[in-house]
Amino acid sequence: MQFNLIKKPVIFGLAATALLLSFYFLILSLVSGWEFTTEQFKDNWYWIVSLSAGFGIQIVLFTYIRAMHKVAASGKVVAASGTTSTVAMVSCCAHYLANVLPIIGVSGLAAIIGQYQTELFWLGLISNALGIAYLARKLIKLKI
């Protein structure tokens, strides 16, 4: 019985995780090609998978709260966290955007983002953790 209650949110969470990973591969492939993308993924897989999984977990919690408890959980938290995760994931190759967007301001921004790749990964993970904590707290309050 409990499995049926969580089935839909888990499917949505897995889909969100896959969507974020697909977005990562699409953007980097368009900017730098497939070979480079797979090489970067091999080097940073633990960051990329963690960020995607964290976003997926938030979608599971968010969907469960909305569907099963019929209450308003802030989608803004999930959206902000998902955006942060995406930016962090794409940051590993942001300096290559200078090749595609030769505007000096954009290329300078891309270089700065590329320089702070690890920090952006951590920011994405912290954002995911905060989003999960917010949604878990909301769920705990509803169960009481």
In the chain, where the domains are located: 2-143
pTM (2 d.p.): 0.74
Distance CA 12, CA 56 (A): 8
Residue 112 Cα distances to 19, 58, 121, angstroms:
26, 29, 14
Q: What is the pLDDT of residue 102?
A: 52
Three-state DSSP class for residue 41: helix
Distance CA 115, CA 117 (A): 6
Question: Could you report the per-residue pLDDT of 37-96, keeping only the tens digit for each?
Answer: 899 899 889 989 998 999 899 889 888 888 776 655 556 666 666 676 666 666 655 545
Q: What is the pLDDT of residue 134?
A: 86
User: Is-contact 66 80, C-beta < 8 A?
Assistant: no
Identify the burial level of 64 via C-beta atoms within 10 angstroms of its C-beta, where 0-12 means exposed, 13-18 middle and 19 or more buried: buried
Three-state DSSP class for residue 23: helix
Assigned token pair, 56: 């997926």
Q: What is the pLDDT of residue 84?
A: 67
